[in-house]
């Protein structure tokens, strides 16, 4: 009952904190609208793979049935799986002209012995021709292997990977039929950004009671430290979750941002993430004695975590190094968990994110509980 009293008091105080509410609710709403509009072209929302058309010429003297068979399979895959349209021409000059005239995304000039594919593309079709380039490169990688096997021991061909599953990462990545538009993307990342800032409210919910001496007064009453700490953290987590859901519903209902079908798992991700961020702030309030140092630290690490989490710019645009480093950011995991869940129906990153959120929450709350017992003078 005491915990409920403290939770109710916390909720009342947080609801009346208009400045923070504006920051936590209105700010992300405005950012989603602004960034969604500003970066809509970058995300090329609505590009269908079918918009890509490829003209090709096979110019192998005497023909190469093995290659033609493999290339046929590749075309079939690209056509069925991604909607890429292929058209053959025997006229090299026409191929060049059609690409220059933007009638085709790319032109492939295939010559033989040794096999060589020259790709011509229009300078203005970077994104689409990049897809073709990656796909062709992947095809060539696997064709080289197939070619060796077929020429030496055709019986082993069934063991080989076919072109449609060879391409490694890049072709696989292109296999997404649904891609987030800018509003969809920033609805996710701005929500997780602002929930990361909830760690500051977690910090101040503890710190303000030390500064205002109210924490000491509460502890003079028949209230145990764990009750006090639990009430404060739970109250703040509750309000943070509500704020998060307000932003989510706004983006979904007003901005029509995509949040996928499985709202339950989305909610679990947001709830566990909120628990983690508030707990982080609460733990820091006990770890660092100086409020300036603690808030300075949070204000420094939060933008870094958000950047590494792809909060401002999608991770794939930041290069491999940043992508590798990004694993240290909890924002990266919640973002990828949400995006993979929404657009691929994949739960892998979502589960990792939930595990990270809960693991760190337990750690932070334990640290806060431990230090609140030791730092009694914090309430003096």
Partner 1 sequence: MTIVKMDQVTKKFGDVTAVDKVSLEIEEGEIFGLLGPNGAGKSTAINMITGLLSIDKGSISIYGKDVRKDKMSTKSCVGIVPQDIAIYEDLTSLENVKFFASLYGLRGEMLEEAALEALEFTGLSEKKNQFPKSFSGGMKRRLNIACAIAHKPKLIIMDEPTVGIDPQSRNHILQSVKKLNEMGSTIIYTSHYMEEVEEICTRIAIMDRGKVIALGTCDELENMINDKDVVVVTISEPASRVDEKSIREIPGVENVDIGENTVKITSAREVTNLDRIIQYFIQNNFTIKSVESKTPDLETVFLSLTGRKLRD
Least spacing, CB of residue 226 vs partner 1, in Å: 13
Looking at the Cβ atoms of 228 and 333, the one nearer to partner 1 is 228
224: burial class by Cβ within 10 Å (0-12, 13-18, 19+)?
Answer: exposed
Nearest to 106 by CA among 129, 80, 131: 129
β-pairing, 106-111 with 116-121? antiparallel
369 token code pair: 């509980």
In 3-state terms, what secondary structure has residue 113? Answer: coil
Least spacing, CB of residue 177 vs partner 1, in Å: 50
Which residues in this chain contact partner 1 in the complex, by CB under 8 A?
2, 5, 9, 12-13, 16-17, 212-214, 216-224, 376, 379-380
Least spacing, CB of residue 222 vs partner 1, in Å: 4
Looking at the Cβ atoms of 169 and 220, the one nearer to partner 1 is 220
Looking at the Cβ atoms of 345 and 373, the one nearer to partner 1 is 373
Least spacing, CB of residue 297 vs partner 1, in Å: 26
Residues 364, 277 contacting (CB under 8 angstroms):
no
Least spacing, CB of residue 223 vs partner 1, in Å: 5
341 token code pair: 């869940």
Least spacing, CB of residue 244 vs partner 1, in Å: 22
DSSP 154: G
Looking at the Cβ atoms of 102 and 217, the one nearer to partner 1 is 217
Looking at the Cβ atoms of 119 and 223, the one nearer to partner 1 is 223
Looking at the Cβ atoms of 140 and 216, the one nearer to partner 1 is 216
Looking at the Cβ atoms of 123 and 377, the one nearer to partner 1 is 377
Q: Cβ atoms within 10 A of the Cβ of 145, count?
A: 12
In 3-state terms, what secondary structure has residue 295? Answer: helix
Which residue reads 């949040």 in tokens?
259
Distances (CA, A) of 145 to 160, 164, 166: 8, 14, 10
Angle between helices 263-287 and 198-211 (to 10 degrees): 40
Least spacing, CB of residue 221 vs partner 1, in Å: 4
Distances (CA, A) of 221 to 65, 144, 370: 88, 78, 21
């Amino acid at each position: 009952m005491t915990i409920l009293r403290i939770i109710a008091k916390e909720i009342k105080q947080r609801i009346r904190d208009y400045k923070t509410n504006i920051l936590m609710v209105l700010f992300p709403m405005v950012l989603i609208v602004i960034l969604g509009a500003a970066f809509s072209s970058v995300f090329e929302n609505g590009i269908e793979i079918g918009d890509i058309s490829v003209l090709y010429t096979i110019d192998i003297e005497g023909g190469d049935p093995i290659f033609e068979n493999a290339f046929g399979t590749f075309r079939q895959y690209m056509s069925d799986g991604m909607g890429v349209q292929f058209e053959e021409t025997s006229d090299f000059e026409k191929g060049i002209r059609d690409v220059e005239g933007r009638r085709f995304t790319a032109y492939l000039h295939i010559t033989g012995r040794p096999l060589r594919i020259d790709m011509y593309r229009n300078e203005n079709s970077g994104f689409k021709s990049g897809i073709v380039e990656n796909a062709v490169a992947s095809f060539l990688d696997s064709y080289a292997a197939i070619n060796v096997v077929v020429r030496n021991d055709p019986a082993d061909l069934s063991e080989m990977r076919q072109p449609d599953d060879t391409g490694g990462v890049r072709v696989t990545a292109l296999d997404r039929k649904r891609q987030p538009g800018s509003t969809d993307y920033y609805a996710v990342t701005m929500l997780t950004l602002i929930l990361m800032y909830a760690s500051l409210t977690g910090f101040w919910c503890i710190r303000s009671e030390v500064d205002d001496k109210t924490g000491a007064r509460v502890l003079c009453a028949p209230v145990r430290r764990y009750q006090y700490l639990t009430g404060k953290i739970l109250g703040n987590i509750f309000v943070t979750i509500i704020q998060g859901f307000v932003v989510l519903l706004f983006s979904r209902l007003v901005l029509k941002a995509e949040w996928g079908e499985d709202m339950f798992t989305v909610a679990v991700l947001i709830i566990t993430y909120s628990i983690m961020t508030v707990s982080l702030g609460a733990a820091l309030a006990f770890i660092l004695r100086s409020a300036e140092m603690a808030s300075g630290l949070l204000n420094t690490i939060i933008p870094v975590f958000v950047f590494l989490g792809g909060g401002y710019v999608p991770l794939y645009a930041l290069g491999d190094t940043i992508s590798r480093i990004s694993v240290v950011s909890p924002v990266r995991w919640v973002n990828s968990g949400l995006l993979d869940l929404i657009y691929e129906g994949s739960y892998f990153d979502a589960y990792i994110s939930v595990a990270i959120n809960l693991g760190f929450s337990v750690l932070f709350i334990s640290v806060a509980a431990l230090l609140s017992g030791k730092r009694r003078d914090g309430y003096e």
